[in-house]
Amino acid sequence: MNTTPRFPLDRLADGAPLPEPLARARRIGLLCNQASVDHRFRYAHDVLADRCGARLAALFGPQHGLWSEQQDNMIETGHARHRRLRVPVHSLYSETRKPTPAMLRGLDLLVVDLQDVGTRVYTYVWTLQLALEACAEQGVAVLVLDRPNPLGTAVTEGAVLDPAFASFVGLAPLPMRHGLTIGGFARATVARLGLGIELHVEPVAGVPPDAQWPALGRSWVPTSPNLPRFESVLVYPGQVLLEGTNLSEGRGTTTPFEICGAPWLDGDDWAAAARELGACPQAVLRPVRFEPTFHKFAGDSCGGVFVHALDAQRFRPYRTTLALLAAARRLAPDHFRWRQPPYEYEQVRMPIDILAGSARLREAIDDRATAAQLDELAAPR
């Protein structure tokens, strides 16, 4: 297989002819962040500034900001101005998560170059959906420079979101591990919502459906502060569920989401109980102790596990975390708790419910779900 696929941004950086909507646009906005780089690690905003000059009129940043500075959920990013390019930087994780008419005024094209991580609750796709809605309302065309799904597009996991539990960590009925690229998501969103918009998607060339990030021959650039390497992205579709509990998801350590636990857990017991409850055979749950420097249990010694995938293609992160949650609930019923709202701007529903896409997961684990019941919860349907 081709291990060095060319992303659309690479082709622009290497001098390929501009895509037609980019060539004819008079004023251009760009939705990106610091992971939007070409194969030489040049930022998308620099590539477009070189190719389009002063026609690049505005930048837009998703959650965590243009430079991925803000650490956690519901820590908003302020608006700014790019010092060198001398254009506004509009934050779409601020008092608004949807581009306002004032932000889009004068633009005739919004270019989107965001690296997604293949998980429904990662908010970049929902920022894209809201941007598509805003652009349709204001008559602004959209060009998506597609990027691969780092988990591949061949596998999905987790129940499909119940629309009654829609939130900013899920605005459409997708499974947790959704198997889409950001360009594929854009096309599906326009069709699902019936948006009257001029949408163009520049494809990635040479990426088979089962190809994961290590097969692409490129370094991983962190898309947000707590996904520092591909291994953290690989476990994220399951481990993000820990945000809906009082278990540490490893924030405040150097390997967030790969390491997890709590002061009142023993790693050996937790790993053994999770294996009995059907943790993926391709997951090694290595017992550890760790001390977060911030976030949950900062400064406290925690017992827990480090999640290793023996075979990334066959590893099922969602099913593995269901086993960890059920095991923690059984081992420490007096300490384990579901997190209370607010969470990602949801003030009423339980965080675990909007993460999982319904109340079924929480209710099943509270009722001491069996391994077979956890298998059912992990199947997309």
Give me the helices (H) in the chain, please: 8-13, 20-24, 44-52, 101-104, 124-138, 182-193, 230-239, 267-276, 317-331, 351-356, 360-366, 371-378
Could you tell me which CATH number the domain at 230-378 has?
Answer: 3.90.1150.140
Instruction: Please report, for the chain, the start and end positions of each structural domain, with discontinuous segments joined by +.
Output: 8-216, 230-378
Q: According to the model, what pLDDT value does residue 72 have?
A: 83
CA distance between the termini of the chain:
32
CA atoms of 279 and 284, how far apart (whole Å):
9
Q: Nearest 5°: CA angle at 229, between 223 and 235?
A: 95
Phi/psi of residue 285, each to 5°?
-105, 95
Strand residues in the chain grouped as ranges (E): 28-31, 56-61, 80-82, 87-91, 109-112, 141-145, 199-202, 259-262, 283-290, 302-309
Separation of alpha carbons 262 and 47, rounded Å:
45
| DSSP 8-state class, residue 43 | B
- Report whether 44 contacts 55 (CB < 8 A): no
Give residue 129's pLDDT.
98
CATH topology assigned to domain 8-216: Rossmann fold (3.40.50)
Q: What is the pLDDT of residue 3?
A: 52
Q: What is the full per-residue pLDDT of the chain (381 aa) written as tens digits?
A: 445 789 999 999 999 999 999 999 999 999 999 999 999 999 999 999 999 999 999 999 999 999 999 988 889 999 999 999 999 999 999 999 999 999 999 999 999 999 999 999 999 999 999 999 999 999 999 999 999 999 999 999 999 999 999 999 999 999 999 999 999 999 999 999 999 999 999 999 889 989 999 999 999 999 999 999 999 999 999 999 999 999 999 999 999 999 999 999 999 999 999 999 999 999 999 999 999 999 999 999 999 999 999 999 999 999 999 999 999 999 999 999 999 999 999 999 999 999 999 999 999 999 999 999 999 999 986
